[in-house]
Amino acid sequence: MKIKEIHINNYKSINSWEVIKWDTNLMTFVGKNGSGKTNVLEALNLIFQANLSRSFTSTNNLITFEYKIILLVNKKELQIIDSALLMDECLIEVYSNKGSTFQTKIISISGEEIYQISKEKSSFLIEEVQKNIKKRCFFLGNEDSRLMFIADKNQDWRYQSNINENLILEAYLKTYTDFEIQNDIMEKLAKGEKFDSKEISEGLEKLINQDIPGFDRGMFSRIKVSFANDKFSLVLVEKSGVEIDFRHTNTGRRWYYTFYFIKKCLRDGDLFIIDEPGSYLHPDAQSEILRELELLAQNGCKVIFTTHSPYLISPTLQHFYYVIMNEKGNTSLERYDMDNFSKVRYDLGLDLNDLVFGKNKTYILVEGKHDVEVLNTFIRLFGIDSSKYKIVSMNGESKLSAVYELAEEEELNFMVLLDADVKKHPIQKQRLKQIPVEKLVFAGEGTKEESIEALFYGDDAFKYLDQNKKRKKVAPEKIMRATNLQEFDDKTIEKFKELFKKLGIR
């Protein structure tokens, strides 16, 4: 007996039945802010937390909505329910209305109802649901107050979850192979009895310092651990020797170590629900988080998370994602598999939200990240509505063909901006023939440089270009600091206005 689907209705913005298939260990939800992504995760968390507390039928729990759990049942399991049923397999629907009313019925694989199950047998089935729903459920919210190590201990930071300081101890104790030691210490902790906290603190400190993530290595000397008053204290020791309490370090680090201790405690079959993982971290760190999530899923945990970041979408791992939309306050879900998004989407850093929701935007495809900064700066300085345009780096003109195919496939409004010197290269010249002439704009045509850098006139070339390189390139840290057009030569402004006119940016 295993879960096949979960259906949710009447929870916050979810105003009609939405279906979540339960056939993969890694599931991603993407959508705009306010679309209802968090509402979906909260509803799932409430269902599973009710299972943990065995409170499915309680009127005092937090289930204030309708849901269905669809179970796939084999012949042997079906015989236990009713010996007269001779099918090889079928589906059982367990319906709950606000956690107080339960109905169960047997339906065929094709979805046709066979018959309603009696109240007595329904109780048995509910127990089976509780066994088959994942063993434990951890919910890691996105808000600062949901993290461990917060400065204000009066906040309700355990929010609908069993995240607490005991997780730190459990994470370390899992490194013991002797289960008697694990159970003995956890029992002592629960009873408030003494145990060898010095040995455990030293062991935990060693474990944490061995596991410092790649994106944080070299940022400090080490992490120091102590245990007092039934609480663990983590201190960041900087290279200068200065010690900083973890409660006062940055949010990204506190998020990661909350994630770290939950991850260390997960067992095969556990459910880990994460709202916007790594949103406080830079892209390289998010890519590292994705690898950790993939590993958890491969090891038997079910991982469900929301994201806005293309760095948290795997182009290679076969899993499913849901696009969440909101029309007039109503949340709806649509499921896709990763085959719908090729690796080039990932390489380009194209956000799934943009591909799904950005049909009214114009995409300006440029060669590199420096070009992105230049165009975004002048869009800002010219006072142009930036929500109408997205500047996307192709990470080199060599990906031109793949990008063009992507833009055509997704029916995006797009223009391609390239340095004029690209036309000198035979291979690139051949690629250009695939793209309609009206979609191409060349920067620096008729100039010596034949590049976007040629648009910077006079002193602007010294102010905004990197003079240390053989071929002068835009210095992004300089161009991004520009606050108004008066900082530029009139001819520079005129050239960029002309470029924007060709690109259709207005």
pLDDT digits (tens, 9 = 90+) for 94-131: 888 876 667 888 888 888 888 888 777 777 777 766 66
Average model confidence (pLDDT) across the chain = 80
pLDDT at 43: 93
Q: pLDDT class for 491, splitting at 50, 70, 90?
A: very high
Do 115 and 230 reside in the same domain of the chain? Answer: no
Is residue 410 a part of any domain in this protein?
yes
Is residue 144 a part of any domain in this protein?
no
Do 128 and 168 reside in the same domain of the chain? Answer: no
Is residue 319 a part of any domain in this protein?
no
pLDDT at 162: 42
Percent of the chain having pLDDT more than 70?
A: 80
56/329 Cα distance (integer angstroms): 28
Q: Long-range contacts for 370-375 (Cβ within 8 Å, ≥24 apart)?
A: 370/473, 370/474, 370/476, 371/417, 371/452, 371/474, 373/474, 373/476, 373/479, 373/480, 374/452, 374/474, 374/479, 375/417, 375/505
Do 164 and 98 reside in the same domain of the chain? Answer: no
Which of 159-163, 356-360, 429-433, 494-498 is predicted most confidently? 494-498
Is residue 274 a part of any domain in this protein?
no
DSSP string, 235-303: EEE-TTS-EEEGGGS-HHHHHHHHHHHHHHH--TT-EEEESSTTTTS-HHHHHHHHHHHHHHHHTT-EE
Is residue 426 a part of any domain in this protein?
yes
Tokens of 317: 């791992």
Phi/psi at 17 (nearest 5 deg)? -65, 125
| One-letter amino acid of 21 | K
Q: 365 pairs with which residues across the strands?
A: 392, 416
R_g of the chain, CA atoms, integer Å: 28
Is residue 287 a part of any domain in this protein?
no
- DSSP-derived letter for residue 470 is S
Do 372 and 492 reside in the same domain of the chain? Answer: yes
Is residue 258 a part of any domain in this protein?
no
Q: Which of 312, 300, 320, 225 is nearest to 275 (CA)?
A: 312
311/260 Cα distance (integer angstroms): 19
- Evaluate whether 82 touches 73 at the Cβ level (below 8 Å): no
pLDDT at 169: 75
Do 392 and 490 reside in the same domain of the chain? Answer: yes
pLDDT at 347: 45
106/96 Cα distance (integer angstroms): 15
The structure's pTM equals 0.67
- Evaluate whether 417 touches 390 at the Cβ level (below 8 Å): no
- Evaluate whether 388 touches 362 at the Cβ level (below 8 Å): yes
- Evaluate whether 419 touches 442 at the Cβ level (below 8 Å): yes
Domain residues for the domain of 192 are: 159-250
> Which range is least confidently modeled, 71-80, 156-165, 222-231?
156-165
Q: Which of 403, 369, 385 is nearest to 480 (CA)?
A: 369
363 or 186, which is more confident? 363
pLDDT at 258: 87
Do 499 and 417 reside in the same domain of the chain? Answer: yes
Q: Read off the pLDDT of residues 428-477 as tens digits, 9 standing for 90 and up.
A: 777 788 888 999 999 999 998 899 999 999 999 999 998 766 667 888 88
Do 124 and 169 reside in the same domain of the chain? Answer: no
118/105 Cα distance (integer angstroms): 9
Do 85 and 174 reside in the same domain of the chain? Answer: no
pLDDT at 159: 33
- DSSP-derived letter for residue 14 is B
Tokens of 500: 């924007």
Q: Read off the pLDDT of residues 216-227 as tens digits, 9 standing for 90 and up.
A: 888 889 999 887
241 has pLDDT over 50: yes
34/264 Cα distance (integer angstroms): 32
Do 463 and 420 reside in the same domain of the chain? Answer: yes
Rounded to 5°, the CA angle 436-438-439 comes to: 70
Do 169 and 122 reside in the same domain of the chain? Answer: no
Segment 268-275 mean pLDDT: 91
pLDDT at 185: 76
Q: pLDDT class for 495, splitting at 50, 70, 90?
A: very high
pLDDT at 52: 62
pLDDT at 19: 95
Number of domains into which the chain is organized? 3
pLDDT at 58: 38
Do 483 and 396 reside in the same domain of the chain? Answer: yes
Do 82 and 191 reside in the same domain of the chain? Answer: no
Is residue 414 a part of any domain in this protein?
yes
